[in-house]
A = this chain, B = another copy of it.
Amino acid sequence: MKLVLLSGGSGKRLWPMSNDVRSKQFLRVLDGDGGQRISMLQRVWGQLTRAGLADHTFVCASEAQCETIHAQLGAGVSVIVEPARRDTFPAIALAGTYLMQDAPSDEIVVVAPVDQYVEDGYFVALQGLPGALEASGADIALLGVRPSHPSNQFGYIRVRQDDPGLESHWHTVRAFKEKPDAATAKTLIHEGALWNCGVFCFRLSYLREVLVAGDYPDRYQALVDGFSGMPKRSFDYEVVERATRIVVSPYAGMWKDLGTWSALTAELDETFVGPGVAAHCEGTHVINELNIPVVAKGLRDLVIVASPDGILVSDKAHSADIKDAVSAVSGRPMFEESRWGSYRVLDYIKLDEGMEVLTKYVVLRPHANISYQKHALREEVWTIVSGSGLVAVDGRVMQVIAGQVVRICPGQWHAIRAEGGLSLIEVQRGVQLIEEDITRLCVEWDEIMEHVAVAGP
């Protein structure tokens, strides 16, 4: 069995911590071991490792997310890169054809979203799906969460109660019901319906049949090349709802969607994370990623989140509903984790004359380097504030240590590599600093050194 984790898109509902590159699964807010903060992705990965599944798991993600995934889980994690964001059907087709390259056609695949907050038993249930698929002879096996309340936020899976599967580990699916009203939800739960949690189990051969029948590419490279022609449709809509025989395995353990600040903070042990203090507050959570203090005084049932992207102060009851307000204010991401380290935007100024100034704090991991790149419309000044490394500028390479300053003019090729870790303050000055004004020559330091050798003094 292979497991594919779908790493979903950006989440404005957890602004200001989530942004276009930092989706909710990457936020380091959950309680980890030894008091450190971990992300939902890291938590799930720990559970997969304990369940012995990590080695058989592939993460399907956009290119923008790759660097963060490697930064959080290590470079060894297998990532299948989606050429573009096009909903779950194209993503699962891509992952499936990727796996078909090496796996036998009767290999069973389980696909699950990465952003689920569950207990370890969930992964035991996932491991039971191939058995349910085989025993039932179905095309697709789903995981169905036993509802804890008549929610109107989830889709329901209606099942036949008269033909329980072997030892009740599966039921035949009768129908799907998307987000019913509370009264209908109550009736559905009474008749034994389960929540659809977006987990699918199928044989690679079945997926290939679906692709061929739909006249879609059924080979990995063809799908990569033709990805922009794939429909923006969900796997539920394009595959599950058209399948002949579907079964579902019930899962009765803890399952939560931490997609809102109210849901997420409910799982935190601490009510105040980061610098600052709260006094006379009740039911209030503060998460402060800035290095200036937050003082919370006399508040009730609020969530306060401060990050380089902005500051949210919301009543918890309204926190599911911040999307519109956030859309009105959001700009460039002010914090990013990447392959080589991370950066935080300290300041952005628009000067009178149309010039802009962007100041960043950049941290490189040991032996990591940024790519060899140039900008047409901006100059950069790097003040190395800690560590040491090598700087390549226009074919010349030099050693730098803390305290030194490097000035890069528009049009100059440049890269930097850390020795034992390195941090710098970067001042960008020019126009279009927020837009993409970058040309990359190469990424690996060895390659960069070849350019240096060629163009060197």
Report A's interface with B, CB cutoff 8 A: 15-16, 275-280, 288, 290-300, 302, 304, 306, 308-315, 317-319, 321-322, 324-326, 328-331, 334, 346-349, 351-353, 355, 357, 359, 361, 379, 381, 383, 385-386, 402-403, 405, 407, 423, 425, 427, 429
Contacts and interface: CB of A to CB of B under 8 A. Distances in A.
Contact of A427 (B300, B306, B385): B385
B334 A314 contact: no
Contacts of A423: 349, 351
B304 A425 contact: no
A354 to B, nearest CB: 11
Given A346-B346, A402-B429, A427-B383, A311 B295 contact: yes
A385 B351 contact: yes
A297 B321 contact: yes
A294 B307 CA distance: 10
A309 to B, nearest CB: 7
Most buried by B among A15, A347, A352, A386: A347
B309 A297 contact: no
- The listed residue with most B CB atoms (<10 A of its CB), out of A292, A294, A302, A348, is A292
A326 B302 CA distance: 20
- Of A315, A359, A386, A427, chain B has the most CB atoms within 10 Å of the CB of A427
Copies in the complex: 2
Given A292-B308, A311-B295, A326-B295, A425 B359 contact: yes
A357 B329 contact: no
A349 B385 contact: yes
Q: Which of A16, A324, A425 has the most CB of B within 10 A?
A: A425
B386 A353 contact: yes
Contacts of A315: 297-300
A349 B344 CA distance: 12
Given A347-B346, A423-B351, A427-B425, A310 B293 contact: yes
A302 B295 contact: no
Given A295-B313, A310-B295, A275 B329 contact: yes
Contacts of A405: 381, 405, 407
Contact of A295 (B293, B300, B312): B312
A60 B383 CA distance: 42
B295 A325 contact: yes
Contacts of A300: 315
Nearest to A275: B329
User: Ordered nearest first, which 10 A-B pairs have the shortest CB separation?
Assistant: A298-B318, A298-B315, A293-B329, A297-B314, A346-B346, A383-B427, A293-B310, A346-B347, A381-B383, A357-B385
A162 to B, nearest CB: 47
